[in-house]
């Protein structure tokens, strides 16, 4: 309603200006410029950082009469380069969302909340946390987050509290890729999209799961003549943008990559000098892929052997400006049981191309050494001996200490083993819809003695919280400074908070104070930022004026990687220790659909981010619901036509959604875009629109990586309307 | 005199809808109002399927039918070719909506007026680019003067074999990965027959007394060519 009022007011103003100028009676048909007149009157531009997704592009926020009217890319920012996606452009609709959280809330019944003051909320939460710590030990508290700029503060809180249980979203996103590259390369490289000459994406939907800087670069590379190949069971946004779409049987990408390695080694197409100098384990890799012929892979993938051989030869011919994308959430990230092997194979294939550090290959980012804020941050927290709640970092999960297994939370809450979990604080994460099995997650939340959610909106998880602490949106708050390449960038408020909300740092410090941990947080965010910026003679205040400032950065040293050998480990003993193979090897996906069911696959769309934008009026108008993609041959057998309502059922849940019959999907799979099917009535635009994919996905943990393996889900589909 | 226009490079466009929303924000549009639209298409049979996007907006026709039917003179053509609406003169009769061969007009139900892409005249008059051009991550949009042989739009028209949409200010560079069917692009300009009827018969009377009934008659006569082009709107049913 707020929007309505304002746009009327603006309209009236504009009309008045038009009227005034019209009386001048110019015969020339130039329209009067009401906006220009207003710009002179009270417009200011605030440089800041976007938060409509996790990329954090630099933005320029146009504020007129105290109201954000437009958001543009900051030309000085290396990521935005003056440009923004639909979501970044729609940011003001999140700020002025009439359904957003407007003050702290306390749960008083199912879906019922009453306002509570910040002081009371902190006090009650603090008392409860102290009581639970006393009764069960500090490890009874778990903190779940999509780690953002404030993450160091969250970790500091947990360290001070004495719990090892800070847990991110990795297994629903990128665990497998990270584990593979951390062990084999000593870190996760990016792709030099701008200079690539031949680019292959296995499931990575570069133009669907959008990163603004990557889009700008890959389009530039395409313009310069790079060949782009999309391997995907679905005609994704990237599949139609690419020069070639390889419509692979879902879950079998690993076979295709292993066969490409086989061809490149057997035809001596690899970079022998690079392999000799910068890698270890080539002979083991060669032996390992000996049986993975293109003919073998053709049977598994449904892609002709001649195509596989051709792709391998084309890729190798373009080396070293040839890259296979390490990916994010898809095939190499988390979706299959064999995702880790797939990511390892991608890592090995890139190494054969000798592309690490080469123009158009894989690159590590430059590093900026920020100042040390620890002298501000109180006493050094005591070492924590308790094991993590999810077992990450020990035994068969030794390689995933940094990633955890957030999706196992519902099972672990039931088990009480090796210690009970009684409290959770959840910040900037909506695990009810971002993890597996929504219903199980809801049940787990109901079992806990304390659930605190920090967010800007009443998401599906907040709906089951005992306390909801509303964070100010990114247009109303500061955050710790960030670095991109050789730049430091600041998020700062464009407008003061519209409602009774606080910055994340104030909320965390408030919670700490209430738990008796105030001594760890006797510093402000500005002091913290000043400490980070001190080496560059900068302060938060100075950076606030500039928005983006260039600072010295250290280039990566590709000759000394952070692995035991200092080189790329094609044969990697670390994987053997956790029960896997020495070199990348074929593993079939966990499940195999038959004639009467489908593999369920999911992914992102360009106009939405996870479950965070489904109440944004501009973005919901672009895509108000998701649809179930189904192949015409399968749809015909089930009597399903585009627009029909179908029920999709898995072993853990059912959803209803519109069907979209399309030739752009493998007949074995059905696809649903992630980010729809909001379960909370108070978010009026989002509520009940489309289907929630997480409702269908059973709770799983893939071997070694602990990834949540969303696409190892079988579903049946039937027409219901 | 200049003749401003746009080239959209469909080999670069990724279909992100950034243009649509930048435009909405620039003009403070209602969520359901899209001056720039992104259509997604798929052609072929699995596994040989081609797909892509076509983005459209007001084509800034050389001889705009919307202007002819406008009873108040709110719709105007500037000497530089821009078709604009003097919003204070618009009475919301919506005749222009039905006259537009490209479905490019958009009714603002809160303000009771019909709007459309103005090529961001308020920005270009200050030397800036239209909002859709400036925000485009893919750099798929080029804005310039068709009458200037050295302009970027003319350069792209020549070097990238762009398809000029006759009678409009637009040209498209087709995607490079397949031989795109011309029918997926907006058709060359053709004046809807009913516009003539409207201009000759209805308008003189209509100026004095306008009613929705008259509009309904005109609506029923008009054919919106592009909307019938069988193009699938991304994220929505046809």
Are B14 and A241 inside 8 Å of each other by CB? yes
Give B 11-50 residues with CB within 8 A of chain A.
11-12, 14-18, 20-22, 24-26, 28, 30-32, 34, 42, 44-47, 49-50
- The CATH number of A175-365+558-577, from 1.10.1740.10, 3.30.70.520, 1.10.260.40, 3.40.228.10, is 3.40.228.10
Are A243 and B28 inside 8 Å of each other by CB? no
Complex-level ipTM: 0.92
- CA of B11, closest CA in chain A: separation in Å? 8
CB atoms within 10 A of CB A698: 19
pLDDT at B192: 84
pLDDT tens track for B106-115: 999 999 999 9
Integer Cα distance of A254 and B189 in angstroms? 50
Q: Which residue has the higher pLDDT, B199 or A262?
A: A262
| Residue ranges of E strands in A407-456 | 423-427, 450-455
- CA of A457, closest CA in chain B: separation in Å? 20
pLDDT above 70 coverage of chain B, percent: 82
Q: Which helix (H) or strand (E) holds B115?
A: strand B113-115
pLDDT at A224: 97
Give B 81-100 residues with CB within 8 A of chain A.
84, 86-88
User: Of B45, B53, B88, which is closest to A15 when you measure between CB atoms?
Assistant: B88
Q: A241 contacts in B (CB within 8 Å)?
A: 14-15, 52
Q: B28 contacts in A (CB within 8 Å)?
A: 7, 10, 69
What pTM value is reported for the model?
A: 0.92
Q: In 3-state terms, what secondary structure has residue A105?
A: strand
Q: A87 contacts in B (CB within 8 Å)?
A: 21
**In residues, how long is chain B?**
238
Interior angle at CA A317, CA A312 and CA A319, nearest 5: 100
> Considering only alpha carbons, which residue of chain B is nearest residue A658?
B237
Chain position carrying tokens 């509303």: A470
> Considering only alpha carbons, which residue of chain A is nearest residue B29?
A7
pLDDT tens track for B3-54: 999 999 999 999 999 999 999 999 999 999 999 999 999 999 999 999 999 9
Integer Cα distance of A236 and A668 in angstroms? 16
pLDDT tens track for B214-228: 333 333 333 333 443
Res. A93: pLDDT tops 50 = yes
Q: Which of A621, A623, A625, A645 to mutate to test the interface with B (most CBs of B within 10 A)?
A: A621
| Residue B68 burial (C-beta neighbours within 10 Å; 0-12, 13-18, 19+) | middle
Q: How many CB pairs under 8 A join A and B?
A: 178
Q: How confident is the model over A484-494, as a mean pLDDT?
A: 97
- The sign of the torsion formed by the CA atoms of A240, A245, A247, A253 equals negative
Beta partners for residue A714, in sequence order: A599
Q: B90 contacts in A (CB within 8 Å)?
A: none
Give yes or no for B115 touching A (CB within 8 A).
Answer: no
Q: Domain A105-170+368-478+491-534 - what CATH class?
A: alpha beta
Q: In 3-state terms, what secondary structure has residue A363?
A: strand
B199 pLDDT tier (thresholds 50, 70, 90): low
Are A618 and B126 inside 8 Å of each other by CB? no
Q: In 3-state terms, what secondary structure has residue A283?
A: helix
Q: How confident is the model over A33-53, as a mean pLDDT?
A: 75
A12 pLDDT tier (thresholds 50, 70, 90): very low
- CA of A388, closest CA in chain B: separation in Å? 40
Strands B141-145 and B4-9: antiparallel
Are B52 and A93 inside 8 Å of each other by CB? no
Fold of A598-719: Barwin-like endoglucanases (2.40.40)
Question: Which residues are CB-contacts of A175 (< 8 A; sequence separation ≥ 6)?
Answer: A333, A334, A400, A403, A705, A706, A707
Res. B231: pLDDT tops 50 = no
Are B50 and A240 inside 8 Å of each other by CB? yes
Give yes or no for B128 touching A (CB within 8 A).
Answer: no
- Which domains, from first to last, does chain B contain? 4-232 (3.30.70.20)
- CA of B75, closest CA in chain A: separation in Å? 10
Q: How confident is the model over A9-25, as a mean pLDDT?
A: 33
DSSP state of A500: S
């Amino acid at each position: 309603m707020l929007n309505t009022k304002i746009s009327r007011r603006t309209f009236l103003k504009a009309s008045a200006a038009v009227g005034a100028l019209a009386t001048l009676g110019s015969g020339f048909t130039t329209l009067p410029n009401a906006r220009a007149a207003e710009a002179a009157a009270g417009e200011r531009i605030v440089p800041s950082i976007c938060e409509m997704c996790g990329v954090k592009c630099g933005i320029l926020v146009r504020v007129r009469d105290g109201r954000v009217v437009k958001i543009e890319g900051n030309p000085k920012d290396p990521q935005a380069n003056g440009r923004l996606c639909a979501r970044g452009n729609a940011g003001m609709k999140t700020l002025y969302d009439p359904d957003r959280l407007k003050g702290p809330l306390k749960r008083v019944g199912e879906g019922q909340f009453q306002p509570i003051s910040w002081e009371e909320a902190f006090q009650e939460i603090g008392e409860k946390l102290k009581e639970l710590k006393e009764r069960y030990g500090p490890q009874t508290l778990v903190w779940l987050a999509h780690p953002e700029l404030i993450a160091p503060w969250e970790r500091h809180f947990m360290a001070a509290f004495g719990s090892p249980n800070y847990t991110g979203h990795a297994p629903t996103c990128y665990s497998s890729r990270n584990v593979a590259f951390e062990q084999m390369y000593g870190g996760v490289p990016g792709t030099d999209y701008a200079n690539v000459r031949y680019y292959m994406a296995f499931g990575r939907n570069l133009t669907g799961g959008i990163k603004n800087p990557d889009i700008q670069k890959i389009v530039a590379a395409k313009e310069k003549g790079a060949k782009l190949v999309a391997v995907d069971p679905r005609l994704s946004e990237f599949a139609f943008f690419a020069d070639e779409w390889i419509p692979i049987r879902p879950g079998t990408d690993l076979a295709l990559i292993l066969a490409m390695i086989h061809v490149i080694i057997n035809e001596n197409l690899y970079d022998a000098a690079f392999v000799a100098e910068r890698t270890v384990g080539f002979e083991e890799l060669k032996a390992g892929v000996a049986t993975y012929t293109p003919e073998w892979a053709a049977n598994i993938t449904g892609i002709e052997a001649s195509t596989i051989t051709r792709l391998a030869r084309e890729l190798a011919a373009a080396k070293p400006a040839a890259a296979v994308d390490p990916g994010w959430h898809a095939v190499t990230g988390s979706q299959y049981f064999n995702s880790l092997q797939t990511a390892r194979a991608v890592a090995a294939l890139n190494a054969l191309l000798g592309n690490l550090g080469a123009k158009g290959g894989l690159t590590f980012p430059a590093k900026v050494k920020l100042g040390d804020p620890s002298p501000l941050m109180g006493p050094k927290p005591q070492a924590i001996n308790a094991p993590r709640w999810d077992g990450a970092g020990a035994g068969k999960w030794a390689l995933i200490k940094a990633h955890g297994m957030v999706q196992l939370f519902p099972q672990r809450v039931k088990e009480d083993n090796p210690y009970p979990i009684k409290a959770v604080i959840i910040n900037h994460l909506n695990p009810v819809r971002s993890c597996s099995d929504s219903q199980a997650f809801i049940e787990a939340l109901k079992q806990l003695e304390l659930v605190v959610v920090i967010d800007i909106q009443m998401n599906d998880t907040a709906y089951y919280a005992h306390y909801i602490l509303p964070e100010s949106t990114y247009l109303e708050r500061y955050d710790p400074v960030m670095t991109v390449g050789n730049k430091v960038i600041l998020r700062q408020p464009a407008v003061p908070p519209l409602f009774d909300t606080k910055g994340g740092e104030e909320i965390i410090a408030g919670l700490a104070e209430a738990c008796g941990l105030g001594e760890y947080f006797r510093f402000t965010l500005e002091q913290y930022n000043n400490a980070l910026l001190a080496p560059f003679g900068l302060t938060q205040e100075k950076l606030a004026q500039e928005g983006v400032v260039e600072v010295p950065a250290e280039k990566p040293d590709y000759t000394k990687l952070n692995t035991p050998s200092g080189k790329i480990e094609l044969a990697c003993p670390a994987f053997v220790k956790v029960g896997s193979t020495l070199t990348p090897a074929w593993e079939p996906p966990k499940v195999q659909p038959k004639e009467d069911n489908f593999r369920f696959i999911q992914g992102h769309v360009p106009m939405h981010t996870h479950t965070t934008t489904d109440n944004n009026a501009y973005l919901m108008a672009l895509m108000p619901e998701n649809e179930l993609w189904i192949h015409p041959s399968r749809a015909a057998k089930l009597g399903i036509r585009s627009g029909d309502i179908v029920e999709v059922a898995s072993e853990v849940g059912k959803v209803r959604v519109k069907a979209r019959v399309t030739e752009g999907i493998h007949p074995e799979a059905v696809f649903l875009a992630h980010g729809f099917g909001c379960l909370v009535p108070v978010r009026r635009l989002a509520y009940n629109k489309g289907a929630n994919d997480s409702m269908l996905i059973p709770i799983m943990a893939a071997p070694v990586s602990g990834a949540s393996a969303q696409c190892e889900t079988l579903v049946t589909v039937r027409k219901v309307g | 005199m200049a003749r401003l226009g746009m080239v959209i490079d469909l080999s670069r466009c990724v279909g992100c809808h950034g243009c649509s929303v930048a435009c909405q924000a620039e003009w403070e549009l209602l969520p359901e109002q899209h001056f720039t639209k992104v259509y997604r298409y798929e052609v072929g049979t699995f596994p040989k399927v081609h797909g892509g996007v076509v983005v459209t907006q007001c084509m800034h026709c050389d001889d705009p039918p919307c202007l002819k039917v406008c009873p108040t003179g709110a719709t105007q053509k500037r000497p530089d070719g821009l078709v604009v609406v003097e919003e204070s003169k618009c009475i919301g009769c919506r005749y222009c909506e039905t006259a537009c061969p490209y479905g490019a007009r958009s009714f603002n139900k809160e303000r009771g007026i019909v709007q459309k892409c103005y090529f961001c005249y308020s920005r270009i008059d200050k030397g800036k680019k239209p909002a859709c051009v400036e925000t485009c991550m893919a750099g798929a949009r080029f804005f310039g003067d068709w009458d200037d042989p050295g302009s970027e739009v003319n350069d792209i028209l020549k070097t990238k074999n762009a398809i000029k949409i006759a009678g409009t200010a637009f040209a498209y560079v087709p995607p490079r990965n397949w031989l795109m069917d011309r029918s997926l692009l907006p058709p060359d300009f053709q004046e809807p027959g009913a516009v003539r009827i409207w201009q000759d018969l209805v308008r003189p009377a209509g100026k004095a007394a306008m009613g929705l009934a008259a509009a309904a008659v005109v609506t029923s006569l008009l054919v919106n060519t592009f909307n019938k082009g069988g193009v699938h709107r991304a994220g929505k049913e046809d």
